[in-house]
Structure 1
Amino acid sequence: MDNRLMPSYLSGADGIRAIACLAVVFHHLTQRLTMDLQTPFVQQSQAFFLLGNAGVSVFFVLSGFLLALPFWKSYLGNGGFPNMKHYVFRRAVRIVPGFYVAFIVSILLAYFWQVQTDYHWLRIITGFTFTSGFHYTTLFPSELNGPLWSISFEVFSYLLLPIFMLGLFYLVKIRTFSKALLYWFGVIVFILIINQGVHSFFTPNEVERGWEFGLIGGAKYWMPNYNPVGFFGQFAIGIIASAVTVNLFTKTERVQRFKQKGGFDVISTLSLLCTLVFIFQMRHIGEFTVSFQSQPYYFPIFPILVASALCTAPHSRWFGKMLDNSLFRFTAKVSFGIYIWHYLVILSVERYWQPDFVYMGLADFNTWLGVSFVVLIISYGVATLSFYFVEKPVLDWAQNKERSLPKQEESKVRKEA
C-alpha cells in the first residue's frame, strides 16, 4: 500500500483511550460507596461503573491496535521488517520513566505508612524488571498501588507482538490481507491452546485463595484466569483490528463512498453503544462467567466490540472527531499518569482526609460524590505533573535522539568512504 494514504493521526483512538482510563478510575471510586444503602437507581448505576475495570481490556486492545500499525503498513506495502531497536527504544521511553517513579513512590509510601508487605524484595525486583505477572505472589508489585499489576502483562505483549509479526513476514510470503488475517487467527488459536495449558498446570491451590486474604490472596484467586499469555489474546484482537484499518485505506474509492454515506459512523457508533449495553447487562453477572476459558473482561465478546469501534472510527466523518474532543484528547495525553497515580491519591485521601473512603465505606452519596470529584481533580493534576516533568522530557529527548541517528549514520558512512 501507499503509506501516504495513512494519516499520521487516527481519529477515535484518543477518545477510546480516555474512556478506558476514566472507566478504571470510576471503578475504584464506586468501590468506596456503600451499595446497600443507596437508592435502586444509584445501585444499578454503581453496579455498571464497578465494571469499569474492563477499561484494562480496552488498553490492551488499543495498544495492540496502535503498535501493530507500522508492521501492517510495512507488510501490506511490501516493505521490510520494522527496526526493532526503534521499537524497543520507543516502548521503553514511554513506559519506564513514569512507571518507575510511581513504583518508587509506592514503595516509599508503604515504608513510611508501615504497610506490611509479604514477599517484599521479590515483588520489588519483579516490579522493576516487569516480570511480576508470572506468579500470584508478585502479580501486585506494590501493596499500595494495585493498578500497576497490568504493566507487566502489557510489556509481555510488547515482546510477543514482534515475535509473531516476524513469523508473518517470513512465513507468509504472498502478502495479502486475507492470508495475513488467517495467520493472526492462527496465532490467537495457538495462544488459546497455550493458555489452556496454563490453566491445566498452573492453577493455584485453594489455601488462602481469595480477596479476604489480601492482595496476594486476591491475585491467587485471579490466576490463572489473569495471566500474561491469555491477555495477549486481547492484545491480538487489537492487532487484527489494526490490519482492518490499514487495509481499508487501500480501498480508496469504495471506502470513500461508504464513508461519505456515513457507513463508518454507523458501525462505530453501534459498536460503542453495544459495548456499553453489553457491560450494563453484565453488571450482576460473575466476573468469569460469560467468557471463553474464564478469561476476564468477557473475552472475546467485549474486546471484539471495542476493536470494532476502534478500527472503523478513523474512517468515520464525525464519530472519531466527537470522541476526540478537547477533554478526551487531554485525558488521553495524561492517561498513563492517571492510571498509575490515581490509586495512591485515593489512599492518601482515605488516610489524611476521609477515613471512611474505603471499600463500601461511605454511606452518604453526596459526600462520596464530593470526595470522588476531589480525587479525580487531584489525579488529573498529578498526572499532568507526571507527563510534563517525567514522561514528556524523556519522550522529547528520545525523539531528538532518533532524529539525530540517521545523520550520525550518514556522517559515519562518509568518513568510511
Structure 2
Amino acid sequence: MTADTPHRTGHVPVVPASAISGTPVTATVAPRRRGRIKGLDGPRGIACIAVLTVHVAAHYSPDTTVDSKIGILGQALIFFFGLSGFLLFLPFVRALFLGAPKQPDVRQFVIHRLLRIFPVYIVIFLIANFALQAAYLTNAEKSLVIGSQAGTGMITDPWTFVANLFLVQTYFPSLIQTGVNPSWSLTLEYAFYFALPIVGALMFALRRRMRWNPVVIGLIPPILFVIIGIAGKVFAYYLAHRAGITDIAEQNFGANWSAVVLRSFLGGSDAFAFGMAAAVLFVAVEVGPEGSRLGTRLRRWSVAGLVVSTVAMLALLALKSNFQVTATGLAAGLFILIIVLPLAEGRRSRMADILDFAPFEYLGKISLGIYLWHFPLLIALGRWGLLAGDSVGGMLGNLAIVGVLSVACAAVTYRFVEEPGLKYARKLRIK
C-alpha cells in the first residue's frame, strides 16, 4: 500500500524528566540519534508482496487458495495502516513530549502527503484506465467473476472517472470498488491524513490548558480512533442488517452504505490507532528518565499481547466478524513496538537488522507502486492469456509473472514519479 517514509527524522532529542511530568521544556536539548528508524521498510515490502499474493492467487487459483489457507496473508494490509499510524503520528508525539508550543507545520504535512501519493496514483490510474483498460467500470464485488476480466475496461462515465481521479469513489455506494481495485485504501489513508492535524491541534490545546502528562495526552487520539472504529462497525452492521445483507464480502465491498462506512474512516479508524499508540510508547521510552526499564517491560508485554491478539484475529476471521480489523490492528501495533523498542533505548534491534534485508527494504520503498500496479496487471495479463489456471504450479507461475512485472513497473514509477515528488517536498520543507 502506501510507502510512507517520514521516519527519516533528523535529530531525535533527549528530553529531560520535566517534559514527562508535564512541565514545559525551556532548556536546550541535545541530539541523541539521527537517521531513519530501522526495521520498518522491510516489513512494508513483505506485507505488500503478501497482499499481491492473495489477490493473484484468489483471482486465478481460488480452490488452491482455499486449500493452502494463504488467504490469511490478506491481513497484511492492516499492517500498512498501523505503520502509517506509527510513522505519521510520531512527529506530533515528539513535539508534544518536547513541550513544543504547537504541532508540526500543517502546511508542510499536507504538501508532503499530497506529493507522496497523488502523483503516482494518478499516473497508474490513467495508464490502467486508458492503456491497459483494466479498471473496474462498476462495483467489483458485483461484477467480478473469478478468473476473468468481467466488469473491467476503460471508464468513460465522467462522474466515475472524476471520482476515481480524486480518490472519493469509496464514499458513494454506486462507485465503491470501481477504478483501480485496491485504491479504496488510499481513500482511507487520506481520511487519516485529514484527521491528524485536527487531533494534533486538540492535543496541544490540552497540553496548554491541562498540563497533563504527555503520555496521557498522546494516548487520547488512538483511544478515540478505536472508539470511532468500533462504533462505525456497529453502525455498518445495523445498515447491513436493515438492508438484508448477510454476506460478509458484500457488507465490506458491495454497492451499499455498509461498505461505504466500513471502508471509510468511520469504520476503519481503529486500523491506525494501535500504530499511533505504539508511537506514544516508543517516544516515552526514547525520552523518558526510565527508558530502559520501561522498554524491557513493554517488550515483554508486547510479545504476550501479540500472541493474544493474533489468536483473537484468527478467531474473529473464522467467525467472519468485521472486528477482526481491530484485533489485526492491535497485532500490527505490537509487532511494530517489538521491532523498534530497542532502537528507542539506543540499542541495536536484531529483528530490525533482519527485516531490513536489502531486497525487502527496496520492496518497501517502492511498495506503493507495487500495490497500485499489481491488480491492473493481473487483469491485463489474464486477458492476454498469459496466466495459468487453478493449480499449485499455475498459482506459483502467476505469482512470479505478476510479481516481477509489478516490481518492474513500480521501480520505474518510483524513479520518475515518486522520487522527484519526495525530493520536491523535502526542498519545500527546507525553505
- State the TM bucket, normalised to the shorter chain: 0.7 to 0.9
**In the alignment, residue 127 of structure 2 is paired with which amino acid?**
V
Name the aligned partner's letter for residue 421 of structure 2: V
**Is 2:226–2:273's contact at 8 Å kept on the other side of the alignment?**
no
1:171 to 184, 196, 206: 206
Return the offset for 1:211.
9.7
1:52 aligned onto 2:73: yes
- Deviations along 1:94-123, one digit per CA (max 9) or x if unpaired, are 011111111111221338999467893322
Which string of whole-angstrom CA distances, capped at 9 and with x for unpartnered residues, describes residues 133-190 of structure 1?
Answer: 2122222240xx2111111111011101111121111024414234214523552365
* TM-score, with structure 2 as normaliser: 0.76
Q: Which residue of 1 aligns with 2:281?
A: 244
1:63 and 2:84 are equivalent in the alignment: yes
Q: SS of the counterpart of 2:398?
A: helix
Shift in CA distance, 276/245, structure 1 to aligned 2, threshold 3 Å: same
310 and 6 in structure 1: CA distance in 2 versus 1, 3 angstrom threshold? farther
Of all paired residues, the percent bearing the same amino acid is: 21
SS at match of 2:199: helix
More displaced stretch, 337-346 vs 249-258: 249-258
Aligned equivalents of 1:187, 1:350: Cα separation in 2: 44
Residue correspondence of structure 1 range 107-118 to structure 2 within 5 A = 107-108=129-130, 109-110=132-133, 115=152
Greater mean alpha carbon deviation, residues 194-203 or residues 118-127:
194-203
Q: How far apart in 1 are the matches of 2:396 and 2:218? A: 46
Structure 1 residue 315 and structure 2 residue 341: aligned? yes
Secondary structure in 2 matching 1:5: strand
* Per-residue CA distance 1:7-45 (angstroms, 9 max, x = gap): 431122112212221121111122145454x5xxx855x
Give distance in 2, aligned partners of 1:111 and 1:347. Answer: 6
Cross-structure match for 1:100: 122
Do 1:265 and 1:318's aligned partners in 2 also have CA atoms closer than 8 Å? no
For 1:81, what is the secondary structure of its paired residue?
A: coil
Aligned residues: 379
Matched letter for residue 133 of structure 2: A
C-alpha separation in 2, matches of 1:59 and 1:13: 10
Pairwise CA distance, 1:338: 0.4
> In structure 2, what residue type is equivalent to 1:390?
V
Task: Report the secondary structure of 2:262's partner residue.
Answer: coil
Which one-letter code corresponds to 1:395 in the other structure?
A: L
Q: Secondary structure at the match of 2:31?
A: helix
Residues 273, 123 of structure 1: alpha-carbon distance in 2 compared, 3 angstrom cutoff: farther
Q: Aligned to 2:133, what secondary structure does the other structure show? A: helix
Shift of 1:320: 1.4
Change (3 A) 1:187 1:389: same
CA distance in 2, matches of 1:230, 1:284: 17
Q: Label 1:123 to 1:274 Cα distance change in 2 as closer, same or farther (>3 A).
A: farther
CA displacement at 1:130 relative to structure 2: 2.5
Question: Which residue in 2 is equivalent to 1:397?
Answer: 424
Contact 1:210 1:218 in 2 (8 A): no
Q: What residue number does 1:234 align with?
A: 271
Deviations along 1:374-412, one digit per CA (max 9) or x if unpaired, are 211111111101100111112122222332x2xxxxxxx
**Would the aligned equivalents of 1:268 and 1:313 in 2 still touch at CA under 8 Å?**
no
In 2, Cα distance between equivalents of 1:342 and 1:269: 33
Distance 1:203 1:400 in 2: 47
Aligned with residue 86 of structure 1, among 100, 108, 119: 108
Gap change, CA 1:366 and 1:282, over 3 Å in 2: farther
Cα 1:364–1:192 change in 2 (3 A) is closer
The equivalent of 1:382 in structure 2 is: 409
Question: Does the C-alpha gap of structure 1 residues 325 and 180 become closer, same or farther in structure 2, counting only changes over 3 Å?
Answer: same
Residues 78 and 175 in structure 1, CA contact (< 8 A), matched pair in contact too? no
The offset of 1:232, in angstroms, is 1.5
2:188/2:263 contact within 8 Å kept: no
- 2:191 maps to 156
Give the unaligned 5+ runs of structure 1.
406-417
Q: Could you tell me how far 1:233 is from its partner in structure 2?
A: 1.9
- 1:266-290: per-residue Cα shift (whole Å, max 9, x none)? 66666667776666x459724x42x
Please report the RMSD computed on the Cα atoms of aligned residues, expressed in angstroms: 3.5
- Aligned pairs for 1:316-355 within 5 A: 316=342, 317-354=349-386
TM-score scaled to structure 1, two decimals? 0.79
- Write the letter of the residue equivalent to 1:226: R
1:72 is the counterpart of 2:93 = yes
Instruction: Describe the SS at the equivalent of 2:318.
Output: coil
The residue that corresponds to 2:57 in the other structure is 30
Give the structure 2 partner of residue 413 of structure 1. none
Indicate the residue corresponding to 2:161 in structure 1.
Answer: 124
How far apart, CA to CA, are the structure 2 residues paired with 1:211 and 1:352?
Answer: 32
Matching of residues 130-145 of structure 1 within 5 Å: 130-142=167-179, 145=180
**Matched letter for residue 147 of structure 1:** P
Q: Is the 8 A contact 1:245 1:312 kept in 2?
A: no
Q: 1:278 to 1:196 in 2, by over 3 A?
A: closer
Cα distance in 1, alignment partners of residues 200 and 88 from structure 2: 11
The one-letter code matched in structure 2 to 1:149 is W
Secondary structure, counterpart of 2:325 in structure 1: coil
Task: Name the CA distance, whole Å, in 2 between partners of 1:81 and 1:195.
Answer: 28
The answer to whether the Cα contact below 8 Å between 1:269 and 1:319 also exists between their aligned partners in 2 is: no
Amino acid at match of 2:401: V
Whether contact under 8 Å (1:209, 1:221) holds in the other structure is: no
Deviation per CA, 1:53-82: give whole Å up to 9, x if none: 222211111101100111001011001221
